[in-house]
Amino acid sequence: MKINKQNYTGLTSNQVKQRINEGKLNIIDNKITKSYKQIFLNNTITFFNILNAALLALVIFVGSYKNTLFILVIIINTIEGIYQEIKAKRTLDRLSIITTSKVEVIRDDVLMEISIDEIVLDDYLVLYTGCQIPADSTLVEGYIEVNESLLTGESDPVIKQNGDNLLSGSFITSGKGICKVLHVGNDNYMNKITSEAKRLKKHNSQLNQSLNKILKYVSIIILPIGGLLFLKQFIYGGQNFNDAIVSTVAAVLGMIPEGLVLLTSVALTLSVLRLAKQKTLVQELFCIETLARVDVLCLDKTGTITEGTMEVEFDVKISNVDLNEIIGNLMHTLTDVNVTAQALKEHYPCQTTFKPYYVIPFSSNRKYSGTSFYDQGTYYIGAYQFLFPHGNQNLEELCSKYANDGYRILVLAHTDKIMDNESLPNDLKPCGIIVLSDVIRADAKETINYFNLQGVDLKIISGDDPITVSAIAKRAGLKEGHKYIDATKLTSSKKLQEAINKYSVFGRVTPQQKKEMVLALKEMGHTVAMTGDGVNDVLAFKEADCSIAMASGSDAAKNAANLVLLDNNFNAMPHIVDEGRRVINNITMSASMFLIKTIFSALISITTIFFGQAYPFEPIQLSLISACGVGIPTFFLTYEANFSQVKGNFLKNVLERSFPSGFIIALGATLITNIGLSLGYEPNMLSTVCILFTGWNYTIALLKVYKPLTIYRKIIIYTTQLIYYISMIIGQSILELTDVTFNWLMVLLALIAFSSLLVDLTAFLFKQLEDKYIK
């Protein structure tokens, strides 16, 4: 039946104000960004910041003030992290306003649109297909079908009639109705299970997992090694208390990858800001990285490949009826608001010559709608396969003729029976077919070609006729567009898994099947992204590694997606992938440089505890190494447009690049220090040799990690290394460096000459062990 808002005047302005004053407002915490307080605390109160503060206190306690320089780097890093997060927060908050969910409400006898957080208790909402129910309500007029899968896990639609309760968080799959709000804010069922109902579960990020693993192990070993090193140097190494403290602080500082977390955060934040310029709203930070690893992209036809609009091309009569009159009357009675209904209403103006008795709203599960009319029987309009499940050869041939050309076909069917339920009669007869066409997006072909070239397997998954979808896919440039199947034939999990490998186009897919397809692909070891814009995509969104929604899509789809394309710009997809690749590639190289210092500091400390006499560096010397060997070059190189395809495991790639250099630096510094001290050489001179040797190995590491060497990379690397050696000359006294004797200069030159070979040999041996033990 057609709803009539005139039966309801809604709340008055005074009643709304009264409820707002009483706190009966639908305030929902839907923010995707941290608060300013959270940003400040997350960047300041960290394990490593607290540890650095303790190390600063120790250095000040022993009066070695020049070695407090490292704290300036920590402060700068913290300020930079806070600044970038606040900048990203403001950008995302502005963008999220664009996607703020709206709802129609009746107030003062006027239908108006408000944000869902402006709903008050007892409001009368007008909800229709595609809407997510924003507050617990009672249906007071109309007829709707509701999918409560986000709440119950059951995907079957639930029919709601007058007097039935509607749970917030579920979404309407068909129909239209007026609902009275029962609960608001924290009293809503949705708010009580927010993490399960509206929010996507947090998907695992390889980058995030790897960084957490690195930080976890460093956090575990750093304090025991630092304590043992101090005891070894102070009690058994003959150092005085002050010197033991300073060298221990240097060792602990060396093991802290102080810029690694900041670098990752800044790199991701900069990507968010770049994507914001492409009108892409990032709702989950690490999904940028995930999309760059995607090897299967599932595309919903409507809204991605096509514009999401349709137009009627022509119709074909099968029986002697007036199609304009019949469809015009159907369009008057049906409350469907999907694009097909809009195209039909535009082509067939509404008529009121028939008197409606019972309305069958469209359902994505039934694939048809209809109306019973007094004295006319019942007319149905929908997909051929669902209206005639037992077949009709002549009708099938006629439909296939046009479907093969990429058109969408609707069948108008009739029974003399006046139906009062949603079931199909067994005497249904076709009256005619309506031929509609999808408008392919202007950017679809270019974007699909991009993914074809990148080796990403594309799957077109649609609820429409597979022949039609296949024709559209071929027109859009899909290489395997001719490989299609009707998903209604996939009656078991085994058949679905076999089909997902064999076919590229799937038609007549139910929402539950979309979800099962994504799960099947993930079980095969693929990283899966899903694009869509409708409520029927939400179940698949929940399971995909990365989900992308169009801003013009349903509230449910936008709320569930990791990314929202605010301009509905499908051609932004390559930019998003490129940003993910930039992030992973640059962080992989930068993290490799950061871990070199962590690795050689940990190895030198361990060898000193068991075999050595003293840690060879002071904090201020490590600050110089960190700045010129890691901080400055990685800062500038992180901005590079590095869009090469991501391969391999992040942690393995990082260790493969960092461990050989870290090991050779540790080996050389340990030999120089222990042999030199055993022969009675001055500790400061030996430290100078170690710093020169370390600097040279950092140059080698930068050149190896950042291959291939572009002009920009060469300029950054050689400039920072020049700064390193100039700083050693200018700051010789502050760094406590001395002249190197001829004998040790020869030793240094020999070590330098063989460093690259030793690094390569270590890399080869490490890779053999890595492939065997590191997963």
Residue pair 173/146 in contact (Cβ under 8 Å)? The answer is yes
Other C-beta atoms closer than 10 Å to the C-beta of 202 total: 11
Residue pair 407/313 in contact (Cβ under 8 Å)? The answer is yes
Site of tokens 């998907």? 203
Instruction: List all residues 6 or more positions away from 531 whose beta carbon is below 8 Å from its beta carbon.
Output: 297, 298, 299, 300, 304, 547, 548, 549, 550, 570, 573
- Alpha carbon distance 45, 106 (integer Å): 48
Task: Look up 300 and say whether it is catalytic.
Answer: yes
Q: Which amino acid is at 538?
A: V
Residue pair 654/588 in contact (Cβ under 8 Å)? The answer is yes
Classify the phi-psi angles of 367: left when phi > 0, otherwise alpha if psi is within -120 to 50, otherwise beta: left
- Alpha carbon distance 168, 715 (integer Å): 58
- Alpha carbon distance 390, 200 (integer Å): 40
Residue pair 520/487 in contact (Cβ under 8 Å)? The answer is no
Q: Which amino acid is at 392?
A: N
Instruction: List all residues 6 or more positions away from 113 whose beta carbon is below 8 Å from its beta carbon.
Output: 102, 103, 104, 105
> Residue 593 — φ and ψ, nearest 5°?
-70, -40
- Alpha carbon distance 597, 576 (integer Å): 32
Classify the phi-psi angles of 656: left when phi > 0, otherwise alpha if psi is within -120 to 50, otherwise beta: alpha
Tokens of 321: 């009826």
- Looking from the CA of 268 toward its CB, the CA atoms found within 13 Å total 23
Instruction: List all residues 6 or more positions away from 713 whose beta carbon is below 8 Å from its beta carbon.
Output: 637, 640, 706
First vs last C-alpha separation in the chain: 60
Q: What is the CA radius of gyration of the chain?
A: 33
Other C-beta atoms closer than 10 Å to the C-beta of 61 total: 11
Q: Which of 300, 336, 555, 578 is catalytic?
A: 300
- Alpha carbon distance 762, 363 (integer Å): 64
> Hey, which residues are catalytic here?
300
